[in-house]
Amino acid sequence: MPKLDESLLDGLPPFSRLERSQIREILERAASRRYEEGTVIFSEGHDAERFYLLLDGYLRVVRTTPGGDQIIVLHISPGQLFGIAPALHRDTYPGTAIAAVESIALSWPVRLWPEFTAKYDSFATETYKILSQRLGQVQDTLIEMATQAVEKRVAAAVLRMVNQSGRKTDAGIEIAFPVTRQNISDMTGTTLHTVSRLLSAWERDGIVQTSRKHIVVTDPYRLLELTGGVG
């Protein structure tokens, strides 16, 4: 792979406390790859052969329920590690990672995981912080699906995407990656018809604007109200 500059990583949490020389050591052992939108990077249940760092793009992480339904449980943003099965003491990937847009990732063989976590202290510390946050988010999603009314959980799913990737536009805050109504259905365990009905109603009420694969939240406060997050 072409030589990558250490500045690509030195501001990212797993690497921010490492010396440039240490980052260079890590980069020299990495492979780089570009993934087209829709590419499956690895699949749930498959042997975990590599772990990854997303340099550019966005990913969806999909889990299969005991009933066989597929649910989008996470989105991965640039600068985040993913596929870190060794941190969970697993030999297989716990979910399927799919490129939501054209994406670029670095990866390393899993045999390097023990060496990296032992040799680079901040790498281990920050990685386990990320892991804790993700497990909490997955748990929140599953609790929402089990306990909340449909409108609340759809609003919460849209708000999470806004908080993670939102960028300001003249119309409001746009989710930075393509998202379809089917994607939202897969995130919330509800039907495509119900998601379409809710988004159409919110659009009439001036809360969102939607077009093919794009959502702009035009009234974030009212969206937050729908989640029950405003007292």
**What's the CATH code of the domain at 107?**
2.60.120.10
Length of the chain: 231
Per the structure, how many domains does the chain have?
A: 2
Instruction: Report d(CA 216, CA 210) in Å as an integer.
Output: 6
Of 80, 111, 145, which residue is a domain's last? Answer: 145
Q: 170 and 221, same structural domain?
A: yes
CA-closest candidate to residue 172, choices 186, 152, 193, 158: 158
Query: What pLDDT score was predicted for residue 230?
Result: 53
Continuous H helices in 77-229? 113-119, 121-147, 150-165, 181-188, 192-204, 220-226
Query: What pLDDT score was predicted for residue 155?
Result: 92
Segments forming the whole domain that contains residue 76 = 6-145
What string of pLDDT tens digits covers the 231 residues of the chain? 556 778 878 778 888 888 889 999 999 999 999 999 999 999 999 999 999 999 999 999 998 877 777 888 888 988 889 999 988 889 999 999 999 999 999 999 999 999 998 988 777 787 878 777 777 777 777 777 667 788 998 998 899 889 888 889 888 999 988 899 999 998 888 899 999 999 999 999 999 999 888 899 999 999 999 988 654
Residue 1, domain member (yes or no): no
Q: 174 and 63, same structural domain?
A: no
CA-closest candidate to residue 194, choices 210, 182, 207, 208: 182
Q: 83 and 188, same structural domain?
A: no
Instruction: Report d(CA 6, CA 28) in Å as an integer.
Output: 10
Q: 187 and 137, same structural domain?
A: no
**What's the CATH code of the domain at 167?**
1.10.10.10
Q: 103 and 20, same structural domain?
A: yes
Residue 231, domain member (yes or no): no
Task: Record the pTM.
Answer: 0.80
Instruction: Report d(CA 157, CA 27) in Å as an integer.
Output: 35
Q: 79 and 24, same structural domain?
A: yes
